């Protein structure tokens, strides 16, 4: 039974794409369906949906207002290609759902999940949360929407903007599995290197080249900090990644 792991959050800018990249590092052969207004996972090769280790981008309207302005029928049909791709899945697959789209897609999956299960396809959900009240509220809604059909539900608490309140996190997560990604204080030059290659590029960094661009001391710090960051992300996604491949 192939499994599909959806990664979602209505609130933007809280590190969802980082979690998707961590899952892709943990399960490198998993195809990625990117349901976003802008193609962000540019470090991956592009390919048809289902191609191992590749990303297939489904362009969505950029804002909730744009979706609503298109009319109910147009907004629903916009996700038809995504649903068709889910029905065609043959192997463990990741789905990166952009901001303003998660609730719409999960609403459709409430009706589609039984048919997918009959076809031998199981769905799981990862929701990324941060300290913002809006992100926590949205996470609770998404987890609730998936409770009847998601075979696995996971929450990653990203402390990039501060620690997530434990009591609120427990209330929002319910019986979902919770992991944490601690806050990292990265130097500007380290952030630039990370932005250039993302998680996938960290293992390919060459200290000698970095030292020429900066200095031996700075190159060492960049490598240590980014290696620790990559490890922390992969630890945060480990339960969800194991669920995906154990199917």
Mean pLDDT within 213-225: 97
| Tokens at 92, concatenated | 């463990």
Among the residue ranges 15-24, 52-61, 207-216, the one predicted with the least confidence is 52-61
Q: What is the pLDDT of residue 166?
A: 93
Both tokens of residue 174?
């319910």
What is the distance in angstroms between the CA of the first residue and the CA of the last residue of the chain?
A: 6
Tens of pLDDT, residue by residue over 62-99, are: 565 665 666 555 566 789 999 999 999 999 999 999 98
Q: How many helices (H) and strands (E) does the chain have?
A: 10, 7
**CA geometry: angle 39, 11, 37, nearest 5 deg:** 20
Q: Per-residue b/e over 223-238, b at no fewer than 16 CB within 10 Å? A: bebbeebbeebbebbe
CA–CA separation, 65 and 99 (whole Å): 12
**Complete domains list, the chain, with CATH:** 3-185+234-246 (3.40.50.300)
Least-confidence region, from 93-97, 98-102, 136-140, 184-188: 98-102
Residue 84: per-residue pLDDT: 96
Q: Which residue has the tokens 């990741």?
A: 94
- pTM of the predicted model as reported, rounded to 2 decimal places: 0.92
| Tokens found for residue 216 | 């031996």
The mean of the pLDDT values for the chain is 92
């Amino acid at each position: 039974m192939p499994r599909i792991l959806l990664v979602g959050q209505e609130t933007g800018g809280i590190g969802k794409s980082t979690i998707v990249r961590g899952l892709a590092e943990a399960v490198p052969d998993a195809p990625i369906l990117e349901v976003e207004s802008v193609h962000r996972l540019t470090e991956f090769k592009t390919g048809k949906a289902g191609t191992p280790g590749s990303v297939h981008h489904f362009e969505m309207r950029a804002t909730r207002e744009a979706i609503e302005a298109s009319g109910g029928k147009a907004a629903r049909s916009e996700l038809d290609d995504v649903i068709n791709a889910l029905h065609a899945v043959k192997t463990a697959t990741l789905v990166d759902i952009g901001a303003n789209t998660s609730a719409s897609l999960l609403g459709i999956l409430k009706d589609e999940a039984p048919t997918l299960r009959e076809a031998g396809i199981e769905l799981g959900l990862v929701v990324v949360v941060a300290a913002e009240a809006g992100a926590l509220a949205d996470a609770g809604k998404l987890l609730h929407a998936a409770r009847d059909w998601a075979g696995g539900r996971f929450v990653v608490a990203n402390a990039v903007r501060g620690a997530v309140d434990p009591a609120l996190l427990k209330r929002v997560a319910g019986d979902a599995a919770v992991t944490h990604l601690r806050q990292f204080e990265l130097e500007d030059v380290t952030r630039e290197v990370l932005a250039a290659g993302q998680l996938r590029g960290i293992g390919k960094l060459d200290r000698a080249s970095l030292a020429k661009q900066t200095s031996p001391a700075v190159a060492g710090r960049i490598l240590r900090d980014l290696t620790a960051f990559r490890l922390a992300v992969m630890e945060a996604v480990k339960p969800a990644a194991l669920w995906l491949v154990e199917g």
